[in-house]
Amino acid sequence: MNLRVISTTAQAVQTAPVLTASEAVGIAKNLAPKFAMRAAHAEKIRRVPEESIEELNASGLLRLMQPKRFGGSELGLGSLMDVVLEICKGCSSTAWAYSNLASHAWNIGQFELQAQEDVWGTDPFALAATGFAFPCGKAVPVEGGYKVSGKWPFGSGVDASTWMLVGAMTEQNGGAPQRRFFLIPQADFKSQDNWQAYGLGGTGSHDVHATDAFVPEHRSVSAEIFAAGQNLPGAKLYSNKLFQMPTFAAFAYVLAIVPLGTAKAAVEQFTDTMRNRAGTYTGSRIAELASVQARIAEAAACVEFAETVIRRDWTELETSVENNEFPSMETKLRWKRNAAFATSLSVRSIDALMPAAGAAGLSLHSPLQRQFRDIHAASSHIGLTWDVHAAAYGQSALGLQPQGGLLL
């Protein structure tokens, strides 16, 4: 681990850990048991505990994808996946909030330099939550920028964030509204403490409000430019191809790695438990039951297939960008289909284990019941919903225009 002293135009000087990929995974592995001990507490307070956020930030993990210019490690999507899989062994809510917050540093790195200075110039550790539901926001062009208003749901990690990256529809002179992203500071938005969910309950995914927040031009980027990747302002600033990555194509995997990690952790923990467990009424070894053996095999196979397709597609995406070959709509639809299908396999994995766990699996002290709830909550995200992405892929394959307003 290197320590980089960073200096910005605001003369803020801080010491920050700069991580290699293997160091990041090692740190996540060491933190996971702490997150596991706080998992029930995270659900109780409905957000990631402050201690966990502090550990993730101080360790450098939350700056995994942040530009090196601001002291980040500037690691890629594969490293994010490896870290998230480890965090999931402790707490899926923490992993979900982490994956979102860490990847948002990558998104901010795709903005103009002045926007990045606004966010990190005085606080290189600043975090941003998001609200990507464009119809929930409205932006009116004014001199020097936009006035943005809206109410955005599902701001995962907003309690730890001093910025919001939101989507809004922008009025055009006589033309169709345009989708744009906007960076809004904490002084101009309010979060509503209303996240109460049966799964991923500790993510703090509250609604966020803003009314006539002025956003200067340099803190706004067209959604179409984000979708394409190569023409992003940040792509011109940094040599790392990470910042040329088409955002929406990659974002499904930022989400899908959490249910994958949840299922993978569940299979490992369930198998370890069943090796020495005896039946409550029979006293016989559970490990000798063929039904339990078959369910473990099914669950493990689902996880292995899901991880294989995610890593393959992720590598394909990174390789295409490295070679300046940007994906077609058909390819993006295939990737999104696969991310949703991998999530379905991850859900099936835990669904296979629950009946074999018996009544013990229902205990609130059992990690499996929380993993069961968390993975079903994660799979309900529109970016991971099989019916949505299967239909879009099928429409395209049949020569039809994909419906549903998907972000491609």
Residue 206 dihedral angles phi and psi, to the nearest 5° = -75, 160
The more confident residue out of 288 and 146 is 146
Q: Which of 130-134, 240-244, 372-376, 388-392 has the highest mean pLDDT?
A: 372-376
CATH class of 128-222: mainly beta
Give pLDDT tens digits for 172-197.
777 788 999 999 999 999 999 999 99
Q: Where are the domains of the chain?
A: 2-120, 128-222, 246-397
Residue 403: which pLDDT band, with cuts at 50, 70 and 90?
confident
Give pLDDT tens digits for 191-248.
999 999 999 999 999 999 999 999 999 999 999 998 888 789 998 999 999 999 988 8
Where does residue 325 rank: exposed (0-12), middle (13-18), buried (19+ CB within 10 A)? exposed
Q: What is the pTM of this model?
A: 0.94
d(CA 44, CA 82): 27
The more confident residue out of 13 and 84 is 84
**Superfamily for domain range 246-397:** Butyryl-CoA Dehydrogenase, subunit A, domain 3 (1.20.140.10)
**Among the ranges given (270-279, 309-318, 328-337, 370-379), the one the predictor scored with the smallest mean pLDDT:** 270-279
pLDDT attached to residue 280 = 66
pLDDT attached to residue 230 = 77
In sign, the C-alpha dihedral spanning 35, 37, 39, 42 is negative
The DSSP 8-state label assigned to residue 174 in this structure reads S
DSSP 56-105: HHHTTGGGTTS-GGGT-----HHHHHHHHHHHTTT-HHHHHHHHHHHHHH
**Superfamily for domain range 2-120:** Acyl-CoA dehydrogenase/oxidase, N-terminal domain (1.10.540.10)
pLDDT attached to residue 9 = 36
Does residue 98 surpass a pLDDT of 80?
yes
pLDDT attached to residue 313 = 95
